[in-house]
Amino acid sequence: MPPSLWSYVTPGIPDDLFERLPGIPMSQREVRLLMLSSLRLCRDSIFWDIGAGTGTMSVEAGLLAPEGQIVAVERDGDVANLIRRNCDRFEVRNVTVIEGSAPECLVNLLQPDRVLIGGGKSIKSIMSEVWQRLQPEGRVVAIAANLENLYQVSESFAELQVRNVEVIQASINRLEKRGINQRFAAIDPIFILSGDKLD
C-alpha cells in the first residue's frame, strides 16, 4: 500500500485499514458504498457527517469531494480524536471534526448541501435542525439500525416533506474463513433512507 494507504479513486476502503476503538461502531465497506451512493456528493460539497463514529464516511467523503468541506460531528472526545487519526492515516485534509452533541453543536456550522445522520436517540430533533439548515436542492441521508429509528426517520421525512424519498434495506453477507471451512457471515442489516429538499 502507498503511504496514504488508499490512492485509488474508487470508494470502498477496506475496513481493516481504519484505526478502530473497542465498542465504537463502524460503517462497514459495503454499507458505506450504499450510503455514499445515496449522498450523491459533488466535488465541492459541504457535507455534515453527524454521529461520525470511526470517521469512515468522513474520510471517504473527503477523498471523493476534494474541493469540498466535510464536517464530522462526534460528541465523545476520544472518538473525535480517532476520527482525526483516521483522517491523518489517509492524508485527508478537508475534514473538520466538531466535538459536541447534535443538534446543539450544529448552529454555527456552514450551511450543508449533503447531510448524513447516524442513528441516535434525538434523531427527530436533529432532522428538524438539519432540514432548516440544509441548502435548497440539498440531500439528506439517515441511517436506521432498528425499527424504532426507522419509524422516527420515516415520520420526520413525512413531516418535513422530504422529496424523492428512497429507502434501502441492506442485507449483506461476507465469505469468511473459519478454520478449514468457509461460510457466509451476515453484516448487521441496516435501513438507509434518503431524499431531497426541493424548495
State the pLDDT confidence band at 181, using cuts at 50, 70 and 90: confident
Q: Would you say residue 2 has pLDDT above 70? A: no
Q: Is residue 3 part of a domain?
A: no
Could you read off the pLDDT of 42-86 as tens digits, one per residue?
999 999 999 999 999 999 999 999 999 999 999 999 999 999 999
pTM: 0.91
Q: Give the whole-angstrom CA distance, residue 77 versus residue 162.
A: 32
Q: Is residue 176 part of a domain?
A: yes
Q: Is residue 5 part of a domain?
A: no
Q: Give, in degrees to the nearest 5, the angle at Cα 81 between 73 and 170.
A: 55
Q: Would you say residue 7 has pLDDT above 90? A: no
The CATH number linked to 40 is 3.40.50.150
Q: Would you say residue 94 has pLDDT above 60? A: yes
The answer to whether 60 and 37 have CB atoms below 8 angstroms apart is: no
Q: Is residue 38 part of a domain?
A: yes
Total Cβ atoms within 10 A of residue 2 = 8
Amino acid in the structure at residue 109? L
Q: Which residue has the cell 432548516?
A: 132
User: What was the pLDDT predicted at 4?
Assistant: 66
Q: Is residue 12 part of a domain?
A: no
Domain of 191 in residue numbering reads as 28-196
Cell readout for 86 is 483516521
Q: Is residue 149 part of a domain?
A: yes
CA proximity to 105, closest of 78, 80, 140, 137: 80
Could you read off the pLDDT of 24-33 as tens digits, one per residue?
889 899 999 9
Q: Is residue 8 part of a domain?
A: no
Q: What domain count does the chain have?
A: 1
Q: Is residue 48 part of a domain?
A: yes
